Amino acid sequence: MLITTFMIPFFDTLVSMGAAILLMALFSTLVIAGFLNSWFSFVLFLVYVSGLLVLFSYMLAMSPNSQGVVGYKFSYFIYGFVVLLVSIFCFSLLGFPDFVLSFEWEVISLFSLWNMGIYWLMMVVLLLALIMVVSLCFKSPSPLRPFMSLFG
């Protein structure tokens, strides 16, 4: 996941950047699902992907069309993917270190009653943001790509 984070500046197109961010979300979901036996990781993944889709659609609408030529920078992605697969294979053979076991208790402590006020505040803010985005989308009949009228 760390390798993918460092490789994002090397990507040329929005599709490759979106795929890298989606892979990071998937890997973080799998890590959280490995530590906790709850639905939290899957709900977190759904929220993350839905926000990512909204951002991706706006960024894609505002950028001009590109061919998406795969160049020498794609080799960095392949190199990072191979390193990721080798590291996963090594962790499966050697086992997880001791800090992973202590990390489980830290994640569980996030869901204590002391933090419920912050979670409720975050839920209300996200709900209000969702309502604002939906109201903006329904009130604006204009096209998402304003420069299309210049070229068409």
Whole-model pTM over 0.95: no
Query: What's residue 64's pLDDT?
Result: 66
DSSP labels for 66-79?
------THHHHHHH
Residue of 121, 139, 117 lying closest to 129 (CA atoms):
121
Residue 72 has pLDDT above 70, yes or no: no
Query: What's residue 58's pLDDT?
Result: 74
Say what percent of the chain tops pLDDT 90.
0
For tokens 């906790």, the residue is 36
> If you average pLDDT over residues 123-147, what whole number do you get?
73
Domain ranges, ordered by start, for the chain:
1-61+73-96, 110-140
- Give the Cα separation of 11 and 17 in Å (integer): 6
Query: What's residue 109's pLDDT?
Result: 65
> If you average pLDDT over residues 21-46, what whole number do you get?
77
- What band does 40 get if pLDDT is binned at 50, 70 and 90? confident
Whats the size of the chain, residue-wise? 152
- What band does 148 get if pLDDT is binned at 50, 70 and 90? low
